[in-house]
Amino acid sequence: MKADLDRWMQESQIDVIFVVGAAQHNPAMVYFTGRVHVSQAEFIKVVGKEPILYYASAMEREEAAKSGLLTQSVDIYQPRRLLEEAKGDAILARALRYQRMLQDSGIQKGRIAIYGMSEVGLAYSVFSKLCQLMPEIEIVSEAEHSVLGQVRLTKDKHEIQQIQRMGEITTEVVGLTADFLSAQKVRNGVLIKQNDEPLRIGEVKRQINLWLAERGAENPHGTVFAMGRDAAIPHSAGDDQMILEVGKTIVFDIFPCQEQGGYYYDFTRTWCLGYAPDDVQKLYEDVRTVYQTVVKALQVNGQCSSYQKLACDLFEGLGHPTIQSNPSTEEGYVHSLGHGVGLQIHERPWFGANATEQDILSVGSVFTIEPGLYYPNQNMGVRLEDTYTVKDDGSIQPLVEFPFDLVLPLKHS
Amino acid sequence: MKADLDRWMQESQIDVIFVVGAAQHNPAMVYFTGRVHVSQAEFIKVVGKEPILYYASAMEREEAAKSGLLTQSVDIYQPRRLLEEAKGDAILARALRYQRMLQDSGIQKGRIAIYGMSEVGLAYSVFSKLCQLMPEIEIVSEAEHSVLGQVRLTKDKHEIQQIQRMGEITTEVVGLTADFLSAQKVRNGVLIKQNDEPLRIGEVKRQINLWLAERGAENPHGTVFAMGRDAAIPHSAGDDQMILEVGKTIVFDIFPCQEQGGYYYDFTRTWCLGYAPDDVQKLYEDVRTVYQTVVKALQVNGQCSSYQKLACDLFEGLGHPTIQSNPSTEEGYVHSLGHGVGLQIHERPWFGANATEQDILSVGSVFTIEPGLYYPNQNMGVRLEDTYTVKDDGSIQPLVEFPFDLVLPLKHS
């Protein structure tokens, strides 16, 4: 959690955290600033000191202040004079500004971890130049297991509230979608709209986006609404042109975030329109059984990878192929059991092949549990997913509850 | 334009263009791939050769293929084996993969320009490591005036069609907003909703987002809908809690993009609800006059900075302070005349202080013209903006036309 930042910086011998980019759609920056209309910024946190947010446009002064951080306009470094000093070399001018910002924070040397969703070519050039200007600094190579990744691995109460609120919005929209589908007319096994035309997946997705927008949510990665054979391909988003048919299986995976790129929620249900064929019902029960068994086994401080192993063992016990026994299988259980959720839709902790010993369930962890079974040659796929958290008392609970019905009744069939 | 890429690479002695990140909300990648659901990719273009798109997830194979590019899964480089070879160092493993990708493209040495909206810390570390593995390559420092920036400076027919379509959506939504405001009841000088509550700016913005979503547009940077004193602060987005009042001036600046981060459109009108006070009317006429005069002066191959100078001269002639005579003025004409529009809402060509000799109006340029006047102490601001293009015959036209009325009539006042 954020409160542990100084401790993690000390343990990792990181002297400075330096974040670049906008304060929207930029997880590392939004983590510190919140979602504010600051389009170009630098955030500098020196170990043991209060951080500073530098904003580039004087017009964004009030928005920067909304972050609650100490703020400072970059104008105090007179960017235009720096550009002259750099003989028009914009990269050198920016590196000179970074040098002065660091020096004003008392940094002449040390280990600097850089972060931010931004243009990589520009950042590479500027930080390379900065290293030439300040030979005693070192840009630390940080990948997954970075200080910031470590801090973001568990969420504080304020973060969990925001994720939970996104969960309420998400499940409300899922409920509206169920009601909307249930209310359609049916003719020759096809859902029919008021205007007598068949209903298509693209229209359902458009409606989902409207309901999300009404509730102040964004849907930057789109929605999985995959029917029939597409439901059997885990990451197929579904075919917008496809007509909704009775008895077909739909995997509905929805993962919106707060407006301007904030916290996400991740949720999946599998539905059959009107009735469920026997083989789908059987597949569904297997997934539901594994889901329930895994959730019961979850424990604070448990290794995430152990639950992936448990899910594989359980699916194999039910006679399904898994990636544990055959890493290249495209049938059966083919993906990882879950992942962390926060300012990114997929973040640590990891449950699958890339999980390490540090990927455990801790107080403040927020993560999905999403077992699934896929049989592309039988046009069948089932996945169930909720987002869970580990509470202060060590108990593990879904952030929002939602019914698990497979069959979506059609009122006019 | 894209067709000139090889020529610009040769002229700039760039051997490789290397783009990283997703194929959504990533201008440099989307420029080549279009908006496809590929969450992690590398795009490699060697001068004189056909480019290749590498995708990380086997599940995204079909989406990668939608780009129309040559595609290749990164699995052929056996990432897991590379991670073992790198003794678990994920950054070295990725650098090893990049090395092999380049070698397979025939590159052992040369100048490489890197691009992409992605996590800068990871990119810095990986490309630094790549330079150690391949001492004969050089990562070229490219800022604004990069090869890709140069190529993207003018748009081809397919790009202009997409921007124009966004312009049609944008102006349709502006029209709906005008109709919506006109239709409200008025009581004691305040716009009143059906439920007898006053209408607030936040509700108007929410409605704008819904209309955009219905038309398949995103609004990642939000909308400026700034009233009264806020209208006099060029980048104030407006206060969501503010009640809409008769006789107040609204600056309505709207800049949505295609879903998943595609082409933008940029558009501004200034409205007065019900009637315009005399001083606002006068301000409006001055802005309109400068707008019309500048637009008439636009010529193919014209220097963008010359039109900024023209706008300043015209405003000064009308008695307004400008940043030309006083760079720190917050009254009068305080910003640049326009900017390019494309996969970024603000891109070259520049018209203001950062404009260079290369910032000219060429066939295929797409840019805004947006003069404005601001008097914060008199709670007045006016801006007018349309997006223009230079056609094949050298003529310069707005991509979409929209009326310029200042007063928005209120039907029930």
Backbone φ and ψ for B315, nearest 5 degrees, come out as -65, -40
| CA-based nearest distance A81→chain B, Å | 13
Strand duo A217-218 + A185-187: pairing: unpaired
Element holding A227 (H helix, E strand): strand A224-227
Local confidence band at B221 (pLDDT 50, 70, 90 cut-offs):
confident
**How far apart are the two ends of chain B, measured CA to CA in Å?**
51
Check CB contact under 8 Å for A206 and B214. Answer: yes
Check CB contact under 8 Å for B37 and A210. Answer: no
Q: How confident is the model over B270-298, as a mean pLDDT?
A: 97
The residues with which B54 forms a beta bridge, in sequence order, are: B42, B72
Per-residue model confidence as pLDDT tens digits over B71-95: 999 999 998 899 999 998 999 999 9
Q: Which of A141, A208, A233, A347 to mutate to test binding with chain B, by most B CBs within 10 Å of its CB?
A: A141
Query: Nearest by CB to A141, which of B91, B141, B233?
Result: B91
Check CB contact under 8 Å for B213 and A216. Answer: no
Residue A143 clears pLDDT 70, i.e. is over it = no
Q: Minimal Cα distance from A125: which residue of B?
A: B141
Q: How confident is the model over A156-182, as a mean pLDDT?
A: 97
Q: Positive or negative CA dihedral for B18, B19, B21, B23?
A: negative
Q: In this prediction, what percent of chain A has a pLDDT beyond 90?
A: 84
Q: What is the ipTM, given to two decimal places?
A: 0.87
Check CB contact under 8 Å for B120 and A118. Answer: yes
The SS3 assignment for B383 reads strand
User: What's the mean pLDDT when you consider all of chain B?
Assistant: 94
Please say whether the beta carbons of B383 and B270 come within 8 A. yes
Per-residue model confidence as pLDDT tens digits over B180-195: 999 999 999 999 998 8
Query: Which residue carries 């301007």 as its tokens?
Result: A260
Query: Nearest by CB to A37, which of B113, B146, B237?
Result: B237
Check CB contact under 8 Å for A124 and B139. Answer: yes
Q: How confident is the model over A2-20, as a mean pLDDT?
A: 95
Check CB contact under 8 Å for A260 and B222. Answer: yes
Element holding A94 (H helix, E strand): helix A90-104
List alpha helices for A146-247, DSSP H: 147-152, 157-182, 201-214
Q: Determine the pLDDT at residue A261.
A: 87
Local confidence band at A411 (pLDDT 50, 70, 90 cut-offs):
confident
Return the CATH fold of B153-408.
Answer: Creatine Amidinohydrolase (3.90.230)
Spatial separation of the C-alpha atoms in residues B288 and B276, rounded to whole Å: 15
Residue A130 clears pLDDT 70, i.e. is over it = yes
Check CB contact under 8 Å for A235 and B57. Answer: yes
Per-residue model confidence as pLDDT tens digits over A232-274: 888 788 889 999 999 999 999 999 999 888 999 999 999 999 9
| CA-based nearest distance B19→chain A, Å | 9
Q: Which of A18, A38, A124 to mutate to test binding with chain B, by most B CBs within 10 Å of its CB?
A: A124
Check CB contact under 8 Å for A120 and B125. Answer: no
Query: Which residue carries 């568990």 as its tokens?
Result: A154
Residue B143 clears pLDDT 70, i.e. is over it = no
Amino acid residing at A240: D
Q: Determine the pLDDT at residue B57.
A: 80
Per-residue model confidence as pLDDT tens digits over A286-318: 999 999 999 999 999 999 999 999 999 999 999
Q: At what angle do helices B157-182 and B201-214 cross, to 10 degrees?
A: 140
Per-residue model confidence as pLDDT tens digits over B47-57: 999 999 999 88
Check CB contact under 8 Å for B120 and A125. Answer: no
Check CB contact under 8 Å for B221 and A124. Answer: no
Check CB contact under 8 Å for A59 and B115. Answer: no
Within 8 A of B91 by CB-CB distance, chain A residues are: 141, 143
Within 8 A of A213 by CB-CB distance, chain B residues are: 206, 209-210, 213
Q: Determine the pLDDT at residue A347.
A: 93
Check CB contact under 8 Å for A125 and B116. Answer: no
Sequence-ordered list of residues with C-beta below 8 angstroms from that of A123, at least 6 positions apart, any chain: A20, A114, A116, B120, B123, B124
Spatial separation of the C-alpha atoms in residues B205 and B200, rounded to whole Å: 9
Residue A388 clears pLDDT 90, i.e. is over it = yes
Residue B206 clears pLDDT 80, i.e. is over it = yes
Check CB contact under 8 Å for A141 and B129. Answer: yes
Q: Minimal Cα distance from A83: which residue of B?
A: B354
Spatial separation of the C-alpha atoms in residues B228 and A329, rounded to whole Å: 63
Sequence-ordered list of residues with C-beta below 8 angstroms from that of B184, at least 6 positions apart, any chain: B191, B192, B193, B199, B244, B410, B412
Please say whether the beta carbons of A15 and A46 come within 8 A. yes
Query: Nearest by CB to A143, which of B90, B113, B143?
Result: B90
Check CB contact under 8 Å for B25 and A124. Answer: no
Within 8 A of B21 by CB-CB distance, chain A residues are: 120
Per-residue model confidence as pLDDT tens digits over A170-227: 999 999 999 999 999 999 999 999 889 999 999 999 899 989 988 989 988 889 999 9
| CA-based nearest distance B152→chain A, Å | 15
Query: Which residue carries 């909308």 as its tokens?
Result: B223
Q: Determine the pLDDT at residue A402.
A: 98
Q: How confident is the model over B116-133, as a mean pLDDT?
A: 95
Local confidence band at B144 (pLDDT 50, 70, 90 cut-offs):
low
Q: Determine the pLDDT at residue B348.
A: 93
Local confidence band at A144 (pLDDT 50, 70, 90 cut-offs):
low
Per-residue model confidence as pLDDT tens digits over B307-343: 999 999 999 999 999 999 998 898 999 999 999 999 9
Q: How confident is the model over A378-396, as a mean pLDDT?
A: 96
Residue A353 clears pLDDT 90, i.e. is over it = no
Q: Where are the domains of chain B?
A: 2-151, 153-408
Query: Nearest by CB to A121, which of B24, B142, B261?
Result: B142
Q: Determine the pLDDT at residue A235.
A: 76
Query: Which residue carries 């029919």 as its tokens?
Result: A192
Per-residue model confidence as pLDDT tens digits over B93-107: 999 999 999 999 999
Within 8 A of A20 by CB-CB distance, chain B residues are: 120
Within 8 A of A216 by CB-CB distance, chain B residues are: 206
Per-residue model confidence as pLDDT tens digits over A314-351: 999 999 999 999 988 989 999 999 999 999 999 999 99
Q: Determine the pLDDT at residue B176.
A: 98
**Residue B349, preceding peptide bond in cis (omega within 30° of 0):** yes
Going by CATH, does the domain composed of B2-151 fall within 3.40.350.10? yes
Lowest-pLDDT range, A116-125, A210-219, A275-284, B342-351?
A210-219
Check CB contact under 8 Å for A39 and B119. Answer: no
Q: Determine the pLDDT at residue B411.
A: 85
Per-residue model confidence as pLDDT tens digits over A47-67: 999 999 999 887 788 889 999
Sequence-ordered list of residues with C-beta below 8 angstroms from that of B210, at least 6 positions apart, any chain: A210, A213, A214
The residues with which B406 forms a beta bridge, in sequence order, are: none
Please say whether the beta carbons of B67 and B53 come within 8 A. yes
Q: Minimal Cα distance from A328: which residue of B?
A: B58
The SS3 assignment for B154 reads coil
How many A/B residue pairs have CB atoms within 8 Å? 137
